[in-house]
Amino acid sequence: MAKKYQIEIPESAFNKTDFSINEELSLSVNHKQINIRPINVSDQLPKINIFWYVIPSIILAVIFLIFFSAKKVSTVPITGDDYSIANGALILGVCSGVLSFLTTFIITKIRGKGPSKDFHWRSLPTITIACGLIIAFSLSAIFWLFGQMFKDARFDIYTATVFIFVIIAAINYIMINLALTLSSGVITNLLTIMIIGGMLFSMLTNSKRDWWRYNFSFLGTAKNSTSLQFNITLIFTGLLMIALVDYLFVNIQRRYRGYKIQVLRWLLIMLAICIASIGLFPNNPEFHVLHDRISMWLVYIMLILIVVIRWVLPEVTKQFLVISYTIGASMSIEYIVFKLTDYLSLTAFELFEFGLAFSWLLLLLQNIENLAQFGQNLFVVKLKPVKENTN
């Protein structure tokens, strides 16, 4: 007869679940780890009522139809006009998406349900604006691509209204789902999408195709037509990173205390402030000196972090230290090669440095995220064999 085992779960851990006594649960084994969850997998998924995102979409689509009917517009272009599907989707989609996220977050936090309860109210404005910017950048990039693929394409007003309804409904659903599943991992993904998406969008849509002949900072200068998007991307990337650091360290300090963890926290906050300040003070003539100084502070803080990470990051692994020192050495070698030779252009040097630094920063945030989760949700359990009744 096969042996059976039982697991003793602490009451503090049980209280964090929605399980009830004698409830049947499903157990799965994945990568030598045991996962216990409700039998009905759908119970774990966010429950989003269809009316939450369909009704607002219908209302806004009707407003779109009435507006264009009043303007006596019979056919609507995809892009390239003030009265286009792109502009309608951008304005209505951003407003509706932000409102959907904001409403869902506030309701779930007030009720104390869902992951939003673990976030501070002070983080809400930054996260909300970042979500709005990501929607705007995504729609702008998608319709820019459609404009290149379907030049001069036009649709009748009713077909255009259907397109607007589908786009807004999809955005509302995504934003409601985001508010119901918000976590440090989700914010890290938002941060990544924000900075990479914003930069790629600026590269693709800027007025000068040979911007790379100048430097990376050219994307944020007044000479670039999309400098506003580039600089806003940097500003809110920095603010979003501050919100993420704030959330992570509130949780991590439940287990790890002392001045070392505070040093790590403030170094990361200073790094985020530098990122935001580079967008706030672009490389225009009036800010040139300040922009360069802030950029150098950013590099110095990054190097300091790499050097002291052995002492300020709790339970740091040997593998992460090896990666950190390898990236730090690579950044130093690139700097020496750039200064002493003509092998690397300024733009290539800046892109390489940014790629290495941002990759390391994401790895660091992932390590801190794991510590924060373990500090809050790690419990000691006992595995015991069940004694079989021989009678």
Q: Are residues 167 and 263 in the same domain?
A: no
53 with 163, same domain?
yes
- Is residue 299 in some structural domain? yes
User: Can you say how many angstroms the Cα of residue 8 is from the centroid of all Cα atoms in its chain?
Assistant: 37
163 and 266, same domain (yes or no):
no
Residue 297 lies in a domain: yes
Digit-coded pLDDT (tens) for 37-83: 776 655 555 677 788 888 999 999 999 999 888 888 888 888 877 78
So what's the pLDDT on residue 43?
Answer: 54
- Same domain? For 261 and 166 the reply is no
Q: In this structure, is residue 15 part of a structural domain?
A: no
Domain annotation covers residue 86: yes
Domain with 346 in it: 240-373
Angle between helices 184-205 and 124-149 (to 10 degrees): 40
Contact 301, 238 (CB under 8 A): no
55 in the same domain as 145: yes
pLDDT(365) > 90: no
In this structure, the answer to whether residues 251 and 365 fall within a common structural domain is yes
Percent of the chain with pLDDT over 70: 84
Give the integer Cα–Cα distance in Å for 309 and 296: 20
Same domain as 147, residue 72? yes
70 Cβ contact list (under 8 Å, min separation 6): none
pLDDT in tens, 93-124: 999 999 999 999 898 888 877 777 777 787 78
Terminal-residue alpha carbon distance, the chain: 15
> Does residue 369 share a domain with residue 246?
yes
pLDDT of residue 53: 84
Is 69 inside a domain boundary?
Answer: yes
**Which of helix, strand or coil describes residue 49?**
coil
Q: Is residue 42 part of a domain?
A: no
- Give the H or E element holding residue 152: none
Same domain, 174 and 244: no
- Give φ, ψ of 41 to 5 degrees: -60, -30
332-343: average pLDDT = 80
- Asked if pLDDT for residue 351 goes beyond 80, the answer is no
| pTM (2 d.p.) | 0.72
Do 169 and 257 fall into the same domain?
no
In the chain, how many domains are there? 2
Confidence of residue 226 (pLDDT cuts 50, 70, 90): low
The label of the residue with tokens 């790499």 reads 306
Residue 111 lies in a domain: yes
Residue 96 near residue 171, CB atoms below 8 Å = yes
The answer to the question of residue 253 being in a domain is yes
Residues 166 and 257 in one domain: no
The structure tokens listed for 38 are: 């409700």
